[in-house]
Chain A
């Protein structure tokens, strides 16, 4: 196996919204390489639909302070308030910057950026829904991804496409290198670098029904976790209320922002009972629980009574064509239904990891309860946990997160890289790549009788059944035993492809390890947290317990593979925790 050596001031891992926004910030300041296992425009930012919130107040009164309040409340008081303040105040500038980069927003009659309603975003601290989401039809993420990529092309950013990062090397307590596998050739590449920013996305593929791309396997968090970096708040995983039944494909909350209504088997608008003020525009954790409660109580639809309807039939057809063209087309393509006349079968779908690599507001990775910075290591976007989303993210705040903290992380890494020396590698280039080379060789030599796909399905089924929207001690114990079984049998999986050209058989097998590890950190964190908060709901502990549990979980992998949990305080602010009602 050939091993190549590169030297850069900065490396960005992942080329979705956060990675590209960081690259724009770093380009021109120092030598930067962007590594992605896909092509940049294939990144899952492109699947985001509904909008990006900023209190521009273009169509009605709004303020960044209201946005911050909503985000804190939406987070079920687990979000760090100083970080939320930063995000909501910088949102305005960050969205205007996207417009200046050329993003084609929908416009108001006066030509301003148009805004629409979204779940959990309200005026005057919960009075009524507010129009805060800036949008491009229902392809806002696509337009952000394209626009940021265009700006990178303009700046001649150096991309290494289809380079899959599999490891990092540290030396003298700082980051020293990123190790990548070139998909086209099977060669290894050691990128010696002063700084590396991980923007590698989420890991929704640990669940059976997910809105996530096949590529979202948690590589960045997974490999850092294996190198001893703790993962924060992993038990908080968002289920989006409106996934296409069985497939999990996302149907934006913007559909409800435009007036769509959820109905049960009786045709009842059941959200009126769960959230009398904002109804269908309650935050996602509450709506997902409401849907599954309806199903549990026998008011689901279909022969198995296991879905509910998203009803858009009362909306003017031209509004659907104009504002929601993509999702209505998904419904036609994948369900064979006409959303103008047919209600749409939906179910909650695994969507977004609130948890991940712990960072501060400058994207610097922090490794303990004192928020000690790990020099040279940065993270932004879904793979990171700042924490602005706390226990439950509000819709549109993920696109906001990537542009605000992609920019901040990029800026901080550029400053660091310009002022610091190149670290020494901890050994020869061969040593640094050694672990990965051995893992790949070992995987190709294996001759066991297990196949990857059924094993992955077993994990996904169990996580969906036992560790998703509703959890109990017993269900989590069951998920843990599946994980143990899968981990054991993983040692015997054999891959068919032993070659070196585009060996996805190999990379899928390597990705599985990350999914197992991260699933376990989720389950262990969820078992310990004997309360219900945001997306983490325990039937056996249904109440939020601020006294014991208003704290972040840190899961650290021990040398023997076990997980040690520790906790760090939530950073509060002017909003005192109160009961979450909408």
Chain B
């Protein structure tokens, strides 16, 4: 199929502001939007710049705004994207070049919630046991690939970059509700600050944007309740 690909472009070395450029590319219906971007880059204009790696939705490199909505370019097929496609960088993070944004603030927020198991007990050379039910409590939030599709779809985050954002909360949730972890109180304190969970207005944008189908808004509500009722 012939596709009209309209891409928001910006080159910091030559441009003072972003502009749109259109490419006509030939792709299959079963191709990914990523394949169409490659087609444009490889056959038309090598300066077109975007991140990508795994090309099947597990590495989280290629989150972008496609037809107005956040998605992974490798997770959306052409037959679903249509023959007129607009592509923009994800919002709320500084654009460096074309579809490449500065990911550092996003990862700084991730790091701020202590995203690692806190447990100083020495179990010796043995595995810790955990029931399947306890493992299920945080199973959903372990799926996160840190693509930033959620955080950069959040209207609160657009308005206030100090908001820790859904992705960081998801990664805090993953440990707060893990029975093996002893750091829940510290993390809940961090998320109880004014940059934390209370900024969430349950717009559900994050949940809709998540390419891993994580129930993000629900996870944020779990954390809010844990703070309110002091109960994990």
Residues from chain B with a CB closer than 8 A to the CB of A111 are: 129-132
A96 engages B125 (CB within 8 Å): yes
Residues from chain B with a CB closer than 8 A to the CB of A146 are: 142, 144
Per-position binary interface string of chain A over residues 201-243, scored 1 when its CB falls under 8 Å from any chain B CB and 0 otherwise: 0000000000001110000000000000000000000000000
Expressed in whole angstroms, the minimum distance between the Cβ of A374 and any Cβ of chain B is 30
Residues from chain B with a CB closer than 8 A to the CB of A568 are: none
Residues from chain A with a CB closer than 8 A to the CB of B12 are: 501
B132 engages A213 (CB within 8 Å): no
Expressed in whole angstroms, the minimum distance between the Cβ of A342 and any Cβ of chain B is 15
B97 engages A214 (CB within 8 Å): no
Residues from chain A with a CB closer than 8 A to the CB of B75 are: 333
A101 engages B117 (CB within 8 Å): yes
Closest to B52 in A: A214
Say if the beta carbon of B163 comes within 8 Å of chain A: no
User: Which among B38-46, B152-160, B190-198 touches the partner chain?
Assistant: B38-46
Say if the beta carbon of B165 comes within 8 Å of chain A: no
Say if the beta carbon of A112 comes within 8 Å of chain B: yes
User: Which among B54-62, B202-210, B217-225 touches the partner chain?
Assistant: B54-62
Say if the beta carbon of B111 comes within 8 Å of chain A: yes
B77 engages A334 (CB within 8 Å): yes
Say if the beta carbon of A483 comes within 8 Å of chain B: no
In the complex with contacts A39-B103, A112-B127, A502-B49, A249-B56 CB distance below 8 A: yes
**Which of B41, B123, B138 is close to A104, meaning CB atoms less than 8 Å apart?**
B138
**Which of A107, A154, A249, A499 is close to B116, meaning CB atoms less than 8 Å apart?**
A154
How many chain A residues touch B (CB < 8 A): the figure is 59
**Which of A47, A107, A335, A499 is close to B11, meaning CB atoms less than 8 Å apart?**
A499
Say if the beta carbon of A505 comes within 8 Å of chain B: yes
Say if the beta carbon of A93 comes within 8 Å of chain B: yes
Give Cα A44–Cα B100 distance, bound, in whole angstroms. Answer: 20
Say if the beta carbon of A543 comes within 8 Å of chain B: no
A153 engages B111 (CB within 8 Å): yes
Say if the beta carbon of B230 comes within 8 Å of chain A: no
Say if the beta carbon of A415 comes within 8 Å of chain B: no
Closest to B76 in A: A333
Give Cα A335–Cα B30 distance, bound, in whole angstroms. Answer: 8
Say if the beta carbon of A42 comes within 8 Å of chain B: yes
Closest to B13 in A: A499
A215 engages B53 (CB within 8 Å): yes
A213 engages B54 (CB within 8 Å): yes
A110 engages B129 (CB within 8 Å): yes
Tell me which residues from 121 to 176 in chain A have a Cβ below 8 Å from any Cβ of chain B: 136, 139, 142-143, 146, 150-151, 153-154
**Which of B46, B54, B98, B127 is close to A44, meaning CB atoms less than 8 Å apart?**
B54
Residues from chain B with a CB closer than 8 A to the CB of A326 are: 58
Residues from chain A with a CB closer than 8 A to the CB of B231 are: none
Say if the beta carbon of A516 comes within 8 Å of chain B: no
Say if the beta carbon of A99 comes within 8 Å of chain B: yes
| Residue in A215, A330, A504 whose Cβ sees the most chain B Cβ within 10 Å | A504
Tell me which residues from 97 to 128 in chain B have a Cβ below 8 Å from any Cβ of chain A: 97-98, 100, 103, 107, 111, 114-117, 119, 123, 125-128
Say if the beta carbon of A429 comes within 8 Å of chain B: no
| Residue in B45, B117, B181 whose Cβ sees the most chain A Cβ within 10 Å | B117
Per-position binary interface string of chain A over residues 374-415, scored 1 when its CB falls under 8 Å from any chain B CB and 0 otherwise: 000000000000000000000000000000000000000000
Expressed in whole angstroms, the minimum distance between the Cβ of A475 and any Cβ of chain B is 27
B58 engages A502 (CB within 8 Å): no
A150 engages B58 (CB within 8 Å): no
Closest to A505 in B: B46
Give Cα A570–Cα B139 distance, bound, in whole angstroms. Answer: 44
A102 engages B126 (CB within 8 Å): no
In the complex with contacts A102-B180, A150-B116, A153-B115, A107-B45 CB distance below 8 A: no
B53 engages A38 (CB within 8 Å): yes
Say if the beta carbon of A15 comes within 8 Å of chain B: no
Say if the beta carbon of B232 comes within 8 Å of chain A: no
Give Cα A61–Cα B139 distance, bound, in whole angstroms. Answer: 28
Residues from chain A with a CB closer than 8 A to the CB of B6 are: none
Residues from chain B with a CB closer than 8 A to the CB of A93 are: 125
**Which of A113, A150, A215, A249 is close to B127, meaning CB atoms less than 8 Å apart?**
A113
Subset of 6 A-B contacts with CB under 8 Å: A39-B146, A99-B128, A100-B123, A150-B115, A214-B53, A495-B46
Other A-B pairs beyond A42-B53, A139-B58, A142-B145, 15, CB < 8 Å: A56-B127, A101-B117, A104-B178, A106-B135, A136-B142, A153-B115, A249-B56, A330-B56, A333-B57, A333-B75, A334-B32, A452-B46, A453-B38, A502-B100, A504-B49
